[in-house]
């Protein structure tokens, strides 16, 4: 009996650690992310769940969530001005996201990935 309860305690402790860890990893400030996106005019070309000239953020979330390098790729996408293909077929460098603190960029990427 003693042995069993000890095991249960260990299991709950691990479960708690896992919950805390993932909550921490996903701690995204959605309001700050949306404010930054608004400030940068991202919503001119992207809806949260509506395609405009660019894909809906929920679509990008689905695409990059499955990719272990998703966060890295999004950070690159938003900082490099890589080519973006528009619905009419023309290409132009994608807008570069501007923020005072790189943490804000990470937060915006985290928010997109959380959608």
Q: Which residues of this chain interact with ligand HEC, rule CB under 6 A? A: 37, 40-42, 44-46, 53-55, 60, 63, 74, 77-78, 84-86, 94-95, 97, 108, 112
Q: Which is nearer to ligand HEC, 20 or 62 (CB)?
A: 62
Q: In the bound complex, what is the minimum distance in angstroms from residue 21's beta carbon to ligand HEC?
A: 26
94 sits in the region (left: phi over 0; alpha: psi -120 to 50; else beta) called beta
Q: In the bound complex, what is the minimum distance in angstroms from residue 67's beta carbon to ligand HEC?
A: 10
Own/partner contacts of 41-50, CB < 8 Å, gap of 24 or more, are 41/95, 42/95, 42/97, 45/95, 48/115, 49/115
Q: Which is nearer to ligand HEC, 21 or 87 (CB)?
A: 87
Please answer whether residues 113 and 71 qualify as being in contact, where contact means their C-beta atoms are separated by less than 8 angstroms.
yes
User: Rounded to whole angstroms, how far apart are CA atoms 30 and 27?
Assistant: 9
Q: Which is nearer to ligand HEC, 19 or 89 (CB)?
A: 89
User: Rounded to whole angstroms, how far apart are CA atoms 1 and 39?
Assistant: 60
Q: In the bound complex, what is the minimum distance in angstroms from residue 114's beta carbon to ligand HEC?
A: 13
Q: In the bound complex, what is the minimum distance in angstroms from residue 53's beta carbon to ligand HEC?
A: 5
Q: Which is nearer to ligand HEC, 60 or 107 (CB)?
A: 60
């Amino acid at each position: 009996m003693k042995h069993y309860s000890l095991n249960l305690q260990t299991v709950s402790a691990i479960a708690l650690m896992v919950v805390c860890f993932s909550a921490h990893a996903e701690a995204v400030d959605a309001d700050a992310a949306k404010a930054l996106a608004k400030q940068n005019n991202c919503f001119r070309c992207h809806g949260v769940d509506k395609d405009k000239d660019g894909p809906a953020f929920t679509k990008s979330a689905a695409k990059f969530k499955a990719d272990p390098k998703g966060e890295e790729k999004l950070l690159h996408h938003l900082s490099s001005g890589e080519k973006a293909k528009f619905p009419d077929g023309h290409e132009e460098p994608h807008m570069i996201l501007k923020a005072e603190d790189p943490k804000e960029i990470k937060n915006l990427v985290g928010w997109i990935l959380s959608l």
